[in-house]
Amino acid sequence: MKKIAIIGGGIGGLTAAITLKNKGFTCDVYERSPVFEEVGAAISVWPNALRVFRKLQILDDVLENCGEIKEAYIKTSTGKVLARTQPVYDLPAVCTHRADLLAALLKQLPPENLHPGHELSDFYTHADGSAHLKFTNGKEVDADLVIGADGIHSALRKKIKGDEVPLFRGYNLWRGIAKLPLEQGYASESLGRGNRVGIVPIRDGLFGWWATANETQGLSDEPESTHEKLKRIFSTWHDPIPQLFDNTPAIIKNSLIDRAPTGGWSTANPVLLGDAAHPTTPNLGQGACMAIEGAYLLTESLYKYGISDRALKIYEQAHFQRTKEITNNSLMLGWLGQLQNPLAANLRNLFFYVQPDKVSMQILDKYFNYDVTNIEI
C-alpha cells in the first residue's frame, strides 16, 4: 500500500491526514515539537473552511468550542463606528482557540499515525521517485509521497524552490486571549494611525485579540514589559482596549511576513501545503482556511489520479489563483490598516464610513461563499 508522510502537525497537516485517511490512504504525520500543540491565540474558521469539515462529517466536533461572530464592526480608535456587518451564511463565521481546533482534528486520527518529536534533518528521493526522510532523533522512513505542511519557514520548500527569506511587511503583531465583558457575538477592528486592534469571540466570555504597530522587524519590547508597552500605546483607545492587556495571561509577538505568490509547489516529490506553499498575512483571516481548502483539493486530486506528477500539478492549478488573490488582497488590507499619515488615515476612515454595509458584505461574500468541495478535479 502507498504511504504518505506529512511534515508538520498543524491545522493544514492534520486536515490533510484526515482527508487522506477517509480516502483510504496510509498517512503518517511528523511534528517537530515534542507534543502536538498550537500557540495560545485565536484563529478564524470562516464558512469556506467549515464546508470542508462538513464534507468530512466532523463539523460538530470543530464547532463545539467555537464562538460565532454575530456582529462585526470597524471603528476608529475613539470608538466611532465606521462600518457594521452581520455575517449570514449557510454556516457560521466562527473563531476559536487554536489549541481547541487542533484537538478536534487530532481526535479524528489514530495515535499510531501521529509522531511528535520528529524534526526533519534530511530528505532525498530514490530513483523510483519515492522519498527517504531523516529526522534529528535518528529515525529514518521511506514514503511514496511527502507533503510539506511545515509552515512559512518550510525546510521542504527550500528543497524545492531555494527561496530567499520571507518578506517583512513593516509592522509587528501582538496576540492574546482575554476574558471580557462583551456580548459573545461581538467582533471589531479598530483603526488608528499605524496601529490596529482586533477583537473576536471564542467562547465562555473569552475573546481573542490582536494589536499592531509600525516598527522594525523583531523589535524587542524591552526595557518596558510587553504589557506596559501595549498599555502605553493604546491607553486612550476606546473600551475595552485599554483593559485587554492586563486581562491577558500570555501575549505572543510576531513580525508580519509573507511571500510573493509563486507557483511550483511540487517536484515529483514532495508537494507543499498551506503556509509552506502560499504564506499570507492574517488580515483576511484566511491563512488556515486556505490550508484546509488545499488539504481537500490535494486529497481529491491524489484520489482521482494516484500519487503522480499529474495529480500534484492539478492540485496546484485548482488552488493557486485563489491563494494568490487572497494573499495580495490581505497584503493590501494590511497596508490600508497600517496607514500612519494623518491625512491618509482620515481618508481611509471616510472610505469605510461612506461605504454602504451591503457593499462590505459583498466583499466578504467573495471569500465566505466559496465552496471548495464543489470544485471539479
Average pLDDT per 10 consecutive residues for the chain, totaling 377 residues = 93 98 96 87 96 98 96 97 93 96 97 97 91 96 97 93 90 96 95 98 95 97 96 97 93 96 92 97 97 98 96 98 97 97 97 84 86 95
In this structure, what DSSP letter does residue 373 have? G
Spans of all domains in the chain:
3-166+258-374
pLDDT for 90 = 95
Identify the helix (H) or strand (E) that includes residue 201.
strand 195-203
* Domain spanning 3-166+258-374, CATH architecture: 3-Layer(bba) Sandwich (3.50)
Question: What gap in Å lies between CA 289 and CA 295, rounded to an integer?
Answer: 10
Residue 137: exposed, middle, or buried by beta-carbon count in 10 A (0-12, 13-18, 19+)? Answer: exposed
Give the residue among 331, 175, 149 at the shortest CA–CA distance from 258. 331
Q: pLDDT tens, 123-155? A: 999 988 899 999 999 999 999 999 999 999 999
Cell numbers that stand for 310 in this block: 499529474
Helix/strand/coil (H, E, C) string of 89-128? CCCCCEEEEHHHHHHHHHCCCCHHHEECCCCEEEEEECCC
In this structure, what DSSP letter does residue 284 have? G
